[in-house]
């Protein structure tokens, strides 16, 4: 360590997501005497933390709504209109910890590629968008948040995806995520409607 500098001043405060880091350094005079210790502005930091928690909550909640529609698609394909079987399957099987978002996406993909009227459809864009939702949800659920500057002017999230990535959270990135969510709902709602129509037709075929 440089003999003319004191150790970095660092305080840590626990947030609902992970650890908030507020970093400041002691300024030194040319003679090596500390003359200005900048203390973290904790009020500004916690305001920024509230802002992050609001964004985090929105992303996780929106992701859960997409996941719930995938649950509904899987159960309706398997059990048609049997609501009792559907409820049991969702609550006992799909809600278990081993049946995560990624596994549900894979099951839905296999089902749609195997049954009418979906098996010849191209859902590549839907699967890509669902994967983006999963990645974003995981990032905000497990990533580490930090704020730059004494007032926390910028919010960063650090996570691991093959390597450690540090990413700034911006309004543009949040809006981009919400657009992906919207597209997922449009696709999934259309599939659910088609399942209902197909089931009705199967139960009451018209005589030609």
Q: Per residue in 8-33, pLDDT tens?
A: 433 333 344 443 444 444 344 445 55
Extract the residue ranges of the chain whose pLDDT is less than 70.
1-46, 81-83, 149-153, 199-208
pLDDT the model gives residue 80: 76
Identify the residue whose tokens are 């904790």: 42
91-100 pLDDT tens trace: 777 777 778 9
- HSE (side-chain half, CA atoms, 13 Å) at 154: 9
Q: pTM higher than 0.75 for the full model?
A: no
Look up residue 34 and give its two tokens.
């500390």
CB burial of residue 132 (10 Å; 0-12, 13-18, 19+)? middle
pLDDT the model gives residue 11: 35
Contacts 24+ apart (CB under 8 A), 2-8: 3/32, 4/28, 4/32, 6/34
Cβ neighbours around 119 below 10 Å, total: 10
| Diameter of the chain measured on Cα atoms | 98
pLDDT the model gives residue 22: 43
pLDDT the model gives residue 27: 42
What is the helix (H) or strand (E) element at residue 65, kind and residue range? helix 42-79
pLDDT the model gives residue 69: 95
């Amino acid at each position: 360590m440089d003999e003319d500098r004191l150790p970095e001043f660092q305080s840590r405060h626990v947030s609902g997501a992970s650890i908030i880091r507020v970093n400041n350094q002691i300024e030194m005079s040319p003679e090596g005497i500390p003359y200005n210790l900048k203390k973290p502005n904790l009020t500004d930091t916690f305001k920024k933390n509230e802002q992050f928690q609001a964004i985090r909550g929105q992303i996780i909640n929106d992701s859960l709504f997409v996941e719930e529609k995938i649950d509904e698609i899987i159960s309706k394909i398997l059990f048609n209109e049997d609501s009792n079987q559907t409820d049991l399957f969702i609550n006992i099987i799909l809600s278990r910890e081993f049946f995560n978002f990624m596994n549900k996406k894979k099951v839905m993909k296999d089902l749609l590629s195997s049954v009418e009227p979906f098996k010849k459809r191209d859902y590549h864009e839907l699967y890509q968008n669902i994967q983006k939702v999963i990645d974003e949800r995981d990032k905000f659920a497990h990533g580490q948040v930090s704020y730059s500057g004494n007032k926390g002017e910028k919010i960063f999230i650090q996570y691991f995806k093959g390597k450690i990535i540090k990413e700034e959270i911006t309004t543009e990135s949040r809006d981009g995520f919400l657009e992906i969510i919207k597209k997922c709902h449009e696709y999934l709602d259309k599939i659910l409607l088609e399942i209902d129509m197909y089931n009705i037709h199967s139960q009451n075929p018209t005589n030609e």
